[in-house]
Structure 1
């Protein structure tokens, strides 16, 4: 990935993670030979535990397209991609004046996020644990 124009705008956590991966960051124990600084590895390790680790460029693009219907600001879309809200309560903390702007479509909005964005890694682990308990 090549930076063509710096300071154009904010990046999603997925875009930062994708950049770090392209520079050689990973879970490989031979990290010392990668061209990534120790601080970048710390950022990589953190982002690997967030919703960004399961996201794709297509999912982010689809999210932006879907959010156009709701007239959301770029910063709100960025926060939605980074946080991946799964309830109306979470959405109310992200969208300014949510009551007036989204009105009764809040459940539809949450459902859109859940369909477009992959689940958070911790929720996948929890559901796998529930499946294992059910099989016991």
Structure 2
């Protein structure tokens, strides 16, 4: 992997997970074959249990395109993608001046998040019971 531009912007958890996989991180119990540091394995383990484990690049691209009318910053979009809020209470701390910037559109944005991103693994297994 070649770095084209340093500090080009915030990464989503999916991008970090993909990067760690490209370096050889996996569920290998020995963890001696890959050139990955122990701290990177801890991050990998965390991300495989998070919402990033079942996101796709296509869903992220779709979300970024559909949320353009809300005029969110790149970091706000990255936080929404990583945290995947499912209510206006959860999205409130992620967007600066939420009420003045979005007003009544907050619920629409929450619905967009719920529509575009699949439910996290743990939630989908609970709903199947």
- Normalised to the residue count of structure 2, the TM-score between the two structures is 0.92
Equivalent residue runs for 1:56-95 within 5 Å: 56-95=56-95
The residue number in structure 2 matching 1:24 is 24
Q: How do 1:1-136 and structure 2 match up within 5 A?
A: 1-128=1-128, 131=129
What RMSD in Å do the two structures reach over aligned CA positions?
1.3
Number of aligned positions between the proteins? 129
Q: Is the 8 A contact 2:10 2:74 kept in 1?
A: no
Counterparts of 1:96 and 1:4, CA distance in 2: 30
Deviations 1:80-126 (A, max 9, x none): 01100011111112111111111112221111001111212221232
Gaps of 5+ in 1: 132-136
Whose radius of gyration is greater, 1 or 2?
1
Alpha-carbon distance in structure 1 between the residues aligned to 2:105 and 2:9 = 29
Question: 3-state DSSP class of the match of 1:33?
Answer: coil
Gaps of 5+ in 2: none
